[in-house]
Amino acid sequence: MISRGFDHHMRPLDHTRDLMPVADLIEECFRDTIDPDGLEYLSYLRDVGRQEEQIPGWAIYNAHIRSRFDGYVWEVENRIIGNVTLLPTMKQGKRIYLIANVAVKEEFRGRGIGRCLTERALEGVRERKGASAWLQVREDNPLAHGLYLSMGFSERAARTTWVKETKYAQGETIADLQVGFNHHSRKDHDWPMQKSWLRNNYPDEIIWNLPFREDIFLPGIWHGLNRLLNGDWVNHQVLYEDGAIRGFITWQPTHHYYDLLWPAPDPAGGDPEMKALLQLARYGLGTRKPIAINYPAGKSDLVFLDCGFTHQATLIWMEAACDPPSIP
């Protein structure tokens, strides 16, 4: 439970006045690790703050805004020095919450403020009748990792984001595809196998918090037409050897900084198949932007490095079950 002596410092986030200072705080605290998509989030946060200044009350009555920027702040002398964000989502039919942006100004760290904010966030999840709370902590932040373990969180997964800033050119050849491997565009009847192999790297336990959409993979004319009408376009390539399928890779363009790649190598294979898939990703994609891959931590690390990818971050996903609040 939260120390009652700190109650006067903590309060719910106020959409009418807190969005700009919270954006500044998050940027200050995560300046060395924030990625381009995180900067895009901060830009959106500031845009909403400016809109609120122009039209007072606009953020309060916008349900989408309220859900994206729910949480608590810590104030000292009318200055926000701490923040925690609560993001609602669904996981396997249950409402859960992601605890994010746990930030405390450097000069106020070491006083237990981060713990108090996280404890209040957990209480908030219970008050909102969430089934569980999730958070992500960087692998290279053992102090925060130990803190969350001490608060009852358990590790559920470790995921690495690999990025490649170099853009692939339209029609770039794949003469360096490993000997013995060939490729073709995915056929409709290949989807069940691809779906099964994707689940090895993107299980239901974690895809709720990834930009993974099964509808972009579905075969058939009607699904293709629906993607076309919605402005979605994907490229599925199949890797095969001696007539047998050895893997799949899908390129997904986005409106964000990175386009996404979804590799699904044969579970019975190994690094040669993964390397060939990353080489195959160049074929016919013509990506105009850098690309990113989210993958299980420690899996095919040397292959990613050999193919020109850079390790952006490894995040440990942690969960705490949230019993409903007790009734006095």
pLDDT confidence of 117, banded at 50, 70, 90? very high
Query: How confident is residue 95, by pLDDT bands cut at 50, 70 and 90?
Result: very high
The pLDDT assigned to 59 comes to 59
pLDDT band at 221 (very low <50, low <70, confident <90, very high): confident
Rounded mean pLDDT, 248-258: 91
Q: In terms of CATH architecture, what is 4-158+317-321?
A: 3-Layer(aba) Sandwich (3.40)
59-90 burial code (b ≥16 CB/10 A, e <16): beebeebeebbbbbbbeeeeebbbbbbbbeee
Domain ranges within the chain, ordered by starting residue: 4-158+317-321, 167-307
- Number of Cβ within a 10 Å radius of residue 251: 22
Q: Average of pLDDT values for 300-327?
A: 88
| Angle, vertex CA 156, rays to CA 320 and CA 117, nearest 5 | 35
Q: What is the rounded CA–CA span in Å between residue 164 and residue 168? A: 10
- Per DSSP, the residues of 87-148 read EEEEETTEEEEEEEEEEE-GGGTTSSHHHHHHHHHHHHHHHTT-SEEEEEEETT-HHHHHHH
pLDDT score of 35 more than 60: yes
pLDDT of residue 198: 97
CATH number of 167-307: 3.40.630
**Within this chain, domains 4-158+317-321 and 167-307 share the same CATH topology:** yes
Lowest mean per-residue pLDDT among 55-59, 305-309, 310-314: 55-59
pLDDT band at 177 (very low <50, low <70, confident <90, very high): low
The per-residue pLDDT of the chain, averaged, comes to 87
Q: Does 69 have pLDDT greater than 80?
A: no
Helix (H, G, I), strand (E, B) or coil at 184: strand
Packing angle between helix 113-127 and helix 142-150, nearest 10 degrees? 50
Tell me how far CA of residue 16 lies from CA of 19, 24, 56, 73, 270, in angstroms.
Answer: 7, 16, 7, 13, 53
Helix (H) or strand (E) segment spanning residue 50: helix 36-54
Q: What percent of the chain has pLDDT over 90?
A: 61
Tell me, what's the pLDDT at 48?
Answer: 84
**Poorest-confidence range of 20-24, 44-48, 157-161?**
44-48
The stretch 96-120 carries a mean pLDDT of: 95
Q: Among 28-42, 124-138, 166-180, 269-283, whose mean pLDDT is lowest?
A: 166-180
